[in-house]
């Protein structure tokens, strides 16, 4: 389990970094346009998948 869990942690952090960058690009109002909202949604889906892996590997 360890390699899969470690990869999921890094992947999740990397995807969250993309979201962080999006917050920077859109500061201060964070008024996201359609393309940016789509990017955010895609990133969030990806993070959820990594969290699910972590739950499988580390909690169950």
Partner 1 sequence: MKCAVDIESRDVEEMYINIDPIQAGGRLTADAMKAAISFGDGYSVCDNCRSPFRLDYIQKPPIAQFHADLAAWLNMDAARVVPGARRGFQAVASTYVGKGDPVIVTALAHYTEFMAVEEAGGIPLEIPKDTANHITPDAAAEKIEAVIREFSRTPPLLFIDHVDYQFGNVHDVAGIAKVAHQYDIPVLVNGAYTVGIMPVDGKMLGADFVVGSGHKSMAAPAPSGVLATTEEHAGRVFRTTQAKGDVTGRTFGLKEVEMMGCTLMGVTVVGMMASFPHVRERVQHWETEVAHSQAVVDALLSIEGTKVLSDYPRQHTLTRIDTRESFDAVAQQHKKRGYFLSGELKKRGITGVIPGSTKVWKFNTFGLTEKQIRHVGESVVGIARENGLNIL
- Output the smallest distance, CB 55 to partner 1, in A: 21
| Axis crossing angle, helix 34-54 with helix 2-25, rounded to the nearest 10 | 160
Find the length of the chain.
60
- Output the smallest distance, CB 43 to partner 1, in A: 11
Residues that bind partner 1 (CB under 8 A): 10, 13-14, 17-18, 20-21, 23-25, 27-29
Complex with partner 1: residue 18 or 57, whichever CB lies closer: 18
Complex with partner 1: residue 15 or 53, whichever CB lies closer: 15
């Amino acid at each position: 389990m360890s390699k899969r869990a470690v990869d999921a942690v890094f992947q999740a952090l990397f995807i969250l970094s993309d979201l962080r960058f999006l917050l920077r690009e859109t500061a201060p109002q964070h008024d996201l346009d359609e393309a940016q909202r789509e990017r955010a949604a895609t990133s969030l889906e990806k993070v959820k998948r990594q969290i699910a892996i972590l739950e499988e590997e580390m909690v169950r």
